[in-house]
A and B are shown apart, each in its own frame.
Chain A
Amino acid sequence: EDQVTQSPEALRLQEGESSSLNCSYTVSGLRGLFWYRQDPGKGPEFLFTLYSAGEEKEKERLKATLTKKESFLHITAPKPEDSATYLCATTSGTYKYIFGTGTRLKVLA
């Protein structure tokens, strides 16, 4: 069964303290690995798509990487406005996307 597991569940960082979020996946025939950001009371906002192992994408302080079994979202020198829940999701080509339960990130000023 396709599965996505994210860790840690919650993470508190000081402003400027870099860290990484993990997304482990078990998918038969990965067609895409996606990262989303979700603010309280809002729908998820798309960040990145990764399609193959070794691929990397960057946006401001965020960098996503992909291996054959997991993806990492690296946050460099985070700011309080980066506080949110970060979700990863995969699809195996069945028009169904499997989401992890997310990492709740809190960045303290």
Chain B
Amino acid sequence: KAGVTQTPRYLIKTRGQQVTLSCSPISGHRSVSWYQQTPGQGLQFLFEYFSETQRNKGNFPGRFSGRQFSNSRSEMNVSTLELGDSALYLCASSLGDNTGELFFGEGSRLTVL
């Protein structure tokens, strides 16, 4: 059974640019959530999607957005990049029943110069 796939794995951008990250969940999982991981803050919740609907959103500025497609694949976008956006962005898939475990991808490492 294939796991969660995130692309790209690594990317370098400059301030002011935008970036789009992609996540393909485990087959049969309809929920995709996104987390930002930094050394000081740990994993911070960005948003969660289930069947193309955003069900919850974390405390991040509007520059961070996401969407989910009918095949459950998800993308997140960060516009007008800032240095502080440098982080590991993790995607997790689950059945979406609100109590089950999350299965994470290996992450997209974003560096903003």
Contacts and interface: CB of A to CB of B under 8 A. Distances in A.
Contacts, number: 65
A102 B40 CA distance: 11
B42 A46 contact: no
B102 A96 contact: no
Interface residues of B, number: 27
Contact of B102 (A34, A94, A101): A34
A93 B43 CA distance: 18
**Interface centre among B56, B96, B99, B109, by most A CB within 10 Å?**
B99
Interface string B78-113: 000000000000101000101111111111010000
Given A95-B50, A96-B48, A49 B100 contact: yes
B58 interface: yes
A100 B44 CA distance: 10
21 contacts: A31-B99, A41-B109, A43-B104, A43-B107, A44-B43, A45-B104, A46-B101, A46-B103, A49-B100, A87-B43, A89-B43, A91-B98, A94-B56, A95-B31, A95-B48, A95-B56, A95-B96, A96-B48, A99-B43, A100-B42, A101-B42
Interface of B: 4, 31, 33, 35, 41-43, 45, 48, 50, 55-56, 58, 90, 92, 96, 98-107, 109
